[in-house]
Amino acid sequence: MSRNLVRVLADRDRCVGAGQCVLSAPDVFDQSDQDGRVLILPHAAAIVPPQSEGSLGATVPPDSEGLLGAAAPPRSKGLLDATFPSHPKGLLGATVPPDSEGPLVDEAIARAAVDLCPSRALSLARP
């Protein structure tokens, strides 16, 4: 079974900076040094490693597959890079508007983060 990939969208206006997403998926999420609100790391999809069980909420079924690898559908790297230029973490905040198209992320990891977010600032979209 291939691993499903989804996009995570962040509404930074709703974010209250609790940091739950950063704790549950530090490879995907960060918090801006400028305003404390959520940042989605630009190359999250490419760097999502297999998460150890236990770092996710129990509502998330265990992964059936270890590595993202070939399961990732082809996507336009150029487009993604254009949307999310490689910035130092702290600078990204200013460049990502709310509800911008986020990178592709493993669905289980994304669902756990969406579920944990207390302000409902995160949502999923099919790629």
Partner 1 sequence: MPQPTPAPAETELPRFPLARGCPFDPPAEYAAMRADQPVTRVRMPSGQDAWLVTRHEDVRRLLTDPRVSADREHPNLPLTEAVTPAGRRAIAAVGRSLIGLDPPEHGARRGMLITEFTVRRINTLRPYVQGVVDGLVDDLLAGPRPVDLVAALCLPVPSMVLCELLGVPYADREFFQHRATVQVRRGVAPEERQKAGAELRSYLDRLITEKEANPSDDLLGRLIVRNREAATDDDGGGASPFDHDLLVGLAMLLMAAGHESTANMISLGVAGLLENPDQLSAIMSDPAAIPMAMEELLRYFAIVDTMPRVAKADIEVGGVSVPAGDGLLIGFASANRDESVFPNPDTLDVRRGARHHVAFGYGVHQCIGQNLARAEMEIVFRTLFARIPGLKLAVPLHELPFKDDSSVYGLDRLPVTW
**Binding-site ranges for partner 1 (CB under 8 A):** 16-20, 22-24, 30-37, 53-59, 112, 115-116, 118-120
Pick 18 or 124: Cβ nearer partner 1: 18
Report the distance separating Cα 23 and Cα 11, nearest Å: 18
Pick 38 or 80: Cβ nearer partner 1: 38
Pick 29 or 84: Cβ nearer partner 1: 29
Report the distance separating Cα 44 and Cα 83, nearest Å: 13
Paired residues of 18 in beta bridges: none
CB crowding 93-125: b at 16 or more within 10 Å, else e: beebeeeeebbbbbbbbbbbbbebbeeebbbee
**How near is the Cβ of 68 to partner 1 at its closest, in Å?**
21
**How near is the Cβ of 19 to partner 1 at its closest, in Å?**
4
**How near is the Cβ of 84 to partner 1 at its closest, in Å?**
20
